[in-house]
Amino acid sequence: MKRYKDLFFDLDDTLWDFKRNSEETLRELYHEYLAQELGKENYAQFILIYHRINERLWNDYKLNKIKKSEVAYQRFLFTLEESGLSNASLARLLAEEYLRSSPAKTNLIAGAVEVLETLAKSYKLHIITNGFTEVQIPKLHNSGIRHYFTTLTTSEEAGCLKPCGQIFNFALEKAEAQINESLMIGDDPEGDIRGAREIGLDTVLFVKHHKRIQTESTYTISELKELLQILS
Ligand SMILES: [Mg+2]
């Protein structure tokens, strides 16, 4: 088996439980600022609208159509509007609160700490993450896993989002790592796997819940601890 030296991890939903942490934050914000006006029972509806709008705005951001500050603000502005509450100052408040509160959440994907603890003894570990630097870096510190990583690369710093090749090359250079001794591990078949493969990196796709998926990754796992078998 090939000997790797440097392991590059995606952060959101690979190590840091984005789905759960985001959900907790949105629920708290809803109950604090919106439940009275929109009704406690309408939370689920609000979240559906939020996710749809957030995804659309992120796609626009990836295509360079809007700025990151607009994503952060407009996802709340438009969700409020669609929920029948046009309130720009409230949207601004929610945007700020979300960016302040969500990185403070500490739920990690099952097995993350044990796996990082073990791998850090034999490999150099790194992060490559899409997202806003001021949000992504605190997540690592607050959830207590920052010290496992030698380098951190965000899309903001690299100047483009995964799957662009530039972000992987930027991270490799920063880590002083060789392509043929490096492995990219992530949960996004497009961003993490296709992007990394295109510059010649070996990859591990982390597919939760044993979803059947067409993938071109070097390895596929459904639990983080399976990494220990691949890399033992
Ligand atoms: Mg991810």
Where are the CATH 3.40.50.1000 domain residues in the chain? 6-17+108-230
Where are the CATH 1.10.150.240 domain residues in the chain? 19-104
Q: Right CATH number for 19-104 from 3.40.50.620, 2.60.40.1930, 1.10.150.240, 1.10.645.10?
A: 1.10.150.240
**pTM, full prediction:** 0.91
Q: If you average pLDDT over residues 106-116, what whole number do you get?
A: 98
Query: In angstroms, what is the span from residue 36 Cα to ligand 1's centroid?
Result: 34
The answer to whether 128 and 149 have CB atoms below 8 angstroms apart is: no
The answer to whether 231 and 119 have CB atoms below 8 angstroms apart is: yes
Q: Which tens digit of pLDDT belongs to each residue from 14-32?
A: 999 999 999 999 999 999 9
Query: In angstroms, what is the span from residue 186 Cα to ligand 1's centroid?
Result: 6
Residue 217 pLDDT more than 70? Answer: yes
CA distance 194 to 196: 6
Which strands, in side-by-side order, build the sheet including 202-206? 149-154, 124-129, 6-9, 182-186, 202-206, 219-221
pLDDT on residue 188: 93
Class of domain 6-17+108-230: alpha beta
pLDDT on residue 62: 85
Q: Which tens digit of pLDDT belongs to each residue from 81-109?
A: 999 999 999 999 999 999 999 999 999 99
Q: If you average pLDDT over residues 188-196, what whole number do you get?
A: 94
- Indicate the average pLDDT of the chain: 94
Query: In angstroms, what is the span from residue 203 Cα to ligand 1's centroid?
Result: 14
Query: In angstroms, what is the span from residue 40 Cα to ligand 1's centroid?
Result: 30
Residues, the chain, total? 232
Query: In angstroms, what is the span from residue 136 Cα to ligand 1's centroid?
Result: 12
